[in-house]
Amino acid sequence: MLILMTLFSSCLFVSSSNIEDNVGNFFSSGHTNNWAVLVCTSRFWFNYRHVANTLSVYRSVKRLGIPDSHIVLMLADDMACNHRNPKPATVFSHKNMELNVYGDDVEVDYRGYEVTVENFLRVLTGRLPPSTPRSKRLLSDDRSNILIYLTGHGGNGFLKFQDSEEISNVELADAFQQMWQKRRYNELLFIIDTCQGASMYERFYSPNLMALASSQVGEDSLSHQPDLAIGVHLMDRYTFYLLEFLEDIHPASKTNMNDLFKVCPKSHCVSTPGHRTDLFLRDPGSVLVTDFFGSVRKVEITVETINLTSPIMQTEEKSAAYGDLQKETYSFSDQLPVSEIIHQKPKQKDWHPPDGFILGLWTLILLVFFKTYGMKHLKHIF
Partner 1 sequence: MAGMELLSDQGYRLDGRKATELRKVQARMGVFAQADGSAYLEQGNTKALAVVYGPHEMRGSRSRALHDRAVINCQYSMATFSTAERKRRPHGDQKSTEMSLHLKQTFEAAVMTQLYPRSQIDIYVKILQSDGGNYSVCVNAATLAVIDAGIPMRDYVCACSVGFVDETPLADLCYAEESGGLSSLALALLPRSGQIALLQMDARLHQDHLEALIEAAMTACKGSSVPRLQDRVTADDNMGLLSDPNRRRALINLLTRLNSPICMICYMAGVAWFMGLAFEPFTLRTYMSENAMGSTMVEERFPAGERALATGREFAAHKKKTGGMPADWLVRTMQARGLEVFTQSFSRTLPFPDENKERYMVKGTNVYGILRAPRAPRTEALVLSARCSPGDDNNQAVGLLLGLAQYFRGQIYLAKDIIFLVNEHDLIGMQAWLEGYHHTNTTGMDWSPLQGRGGSIQAALSLELSHDLITSLDLVLEGLNGQLPNLDLANLFYAFCQKIGVLCTIQGKLQRNDWDSVSGYSHAVQTMMLMVMKQASGRPWGDHGLFLRYHIEAATIKGINSFRQYKTDATTVGRLLEGMYRKLNNLLERLHQSYFFYLMPSLSHFVSIGYYMPAFGLLAVILLLRALDLWVQLVTPPPRTEDGVIDIEQSNPGVLSVMTPLVISHLTGVALYLLPIRFQELAVEHFPVSETEAVVLTAIAVYTAGLALPHNTHRLLSGEGTEQGWKVLKLVAVLYLAVLLGCTALINFSLGFILALTLVPVAAFVTPHVPKVLSAFVLVILSPACTLLFSVFFFQELQEIPVSFQEGWVLYLSVISQGILDHCLYGSLVYPLIALLVYPCWLLFWNILFWK
In the complex, the smallest distance separating the C-beta of residue 226 from partner 1, rounded to whole angstroms, is: 5
> Which residues within the stretch 193-212 sit at the binding site for partner 1 (CB under 8 A)?
none
In the complex, the smallest distance separating the C-beta of residue 234 from partner 1, rounded to whole angstroms, is: 11
Q: Which stretch binds partner 1 (CB under 8 A): 26-34, 38-46, 89-97, 330-338?
A: 38-46
The answer to whether residue 112 forms part of the interface with partner 1 (CB under 8 A) is: no
Binding residues with partner 1: total (CB under 8 A) = 16
The answer to whether residue 229 forms part of the interface with partner 1 (CB under 8 A) is: yes
The answer to whether residue 265 forms part of the interface with partner 1 (CB under 8 A) is: no
In the complex, the smallest distance separating the C-beta of residue 227 from partner 1, rounded to whole angstroms, is: 8
3-class SS of residue 277: coil
- Asked if 80 and 89 touch (Cβ cutoff 8 Å), the reply is yes
195 in catalytic set: yes
The answer to whether residue 228 forms part of the interface with partner 1 (CB under 8 A) is: yes
Cα(111)–Cα(109) distance, integer angstroms: 6
Q: Of these, 103, 231, 323, 360, which contacts partner 1 (CB under 8 A)?
A: 231
- Asked if 224 and 230 touch (Cβ cutoff 8 Å), the reply is no
Cα(64)–Cα(297) distance, integer angstroms: 11
3-class SS of residue 377: helix
The answer to whether residue 323 forms part of the interface with partner 1 (CB under 8 A) is: no
250 in catalytic set: no
Among the listed residues 195, 224, 264, 275, the single catalytic one is: 195
Among the listed residues 50, 94, 153, 233, the single catalytic one is: 153
Cα(254)–Cα(276) distance, integer angstroms: 21
3-class SS of residue 166: strand
Q: Considering only CA atoms, which of 39, 376, 377 is closest in space to residue 239?
A: 39
Cα(87)–Cα(276) distance, integer angstroms: 39
The answer to whether residue 86 forms part of the interface with partner 1 (CB under 8 A) is: yes
Residue 194: Cβ-neighbour burial (10 angstroms; 0-12, 13-18, 19+): buried
In the complex, the smallest distance separating the C-beta of residue 102 from partner 1, rounded to whole angstroms, is: 17
Site string for partner 1, 43-62 (x = CB under 8 A): -xxx----------------
Run of H or E residues at 33: strand 33-40
Which residues lie near partner 1 (CB under 8 A)? 44-46, 82-86, 88, 226-229, 231-233
